[in-house]
Amino acid sequence: MAGASTDVSRILEALRRVPEPELNKDIVTLNMVKDVVVAGSSVSLTFVLTTPACPLKEEIEKSIRDELLKLDGIESVQIKMEASVPQVRDMQGHEGIPGVKNIVAIASGKGGVGKTTVAVNIAVALARLGAAVGLMDSDIYGPNVPRMMGIQASPQATGERIQPLEGFGVRLMSMGFLNPGDRPLVWRGPMLHSVIQQFLRKVDWGELDYLILDLPPGTGDVQLSLTQSVPLSGGVVVTTPSDVALEDARKAIGMFRQVKVEVLGIVENMSYFVCPHCSERIEIFSHGGGQKTSEQFQVPFLGEIALHPEIRTGGDCGSPLAARGPESPEAAVFYEIAKRVAARVSVVNLTASPEQLITIRP
pLDDT at 356: 42
Strands 210-214, 170-174: pairing is unpaired
Q: How far apart are CA 10 and CA 143, in angstroms?
A: 56
Residues in the chain, overall count: 362
Q: How far apart are CA 71 and CA 15, in angstroms?
A: 11
Q: How far apart are CA 7 and CA 282, in angstroms?
A: 59
**pLDDT digits (tens), the chain, 362 positions:** 444 556 889 999 999 999 988 878 899 988 899 999 999 999 999 999 989 998 889 999 999 999 999 999 999 999 999 998 988 766 666 788 999 999 999 999 888 899 999 999 999 999 999 999 999 998 877 789 999 999 989 999 998 899 999 999 999 999 888 877 666 655 555 677 788 889 999 999 999 999 999 998 877 777 877 877 889 999 999 999 999 999 999 999 999 999 899 999 999 999 999 888 888 999 998 889 999 999 999 999 999 999 999 999 999 999 999 999 999 999 999 999 999 999 999 888 877 654 444 333 33
Say if residues 323 and 302 touch (Cβ distance below 8 Å): no
Q: Phi first, then psi: what are they for 142, rounded to 5°?
A: -135, 65
pLDDT at 218: 79
- Select from 3.30.300.130, 3.40.50.740, 3.50.50.60, 3.30.70.1400 the CATH code of 2-83: 3.30.300.130
Say if residues 95 and 227 touch (Cβ distance below 8 Å): no
Q: How far apart are CA 242 and CA 245, in angstroms?
A: 5
pTM for the full model?
0.89
Would you list the domain boundaries of the chain?
2-83, 103-324
User: What is the topology classification, in CATH, of domain 103-324?
Assistant: Rossmann fold (3.40.50)
Burial 321-357 (b: 16+ CB within 10 A, else e): bbbbebeeebbbbbbbbbbbbbbbbbbbbbeeebbeb
pLDDT at 339: 95
Neighbours of 169 (CB within 10 A): 15
Same fold, 2-83 and 103-324: no
Q: In the chain, where does DSSP find H-type helix?
A: 2-15, 57-69, 115-128, 145-149, 175-178, 189-201, 221-229, 243-258, 289-297, 309-317, 332-352
pLDDT at 184: 61
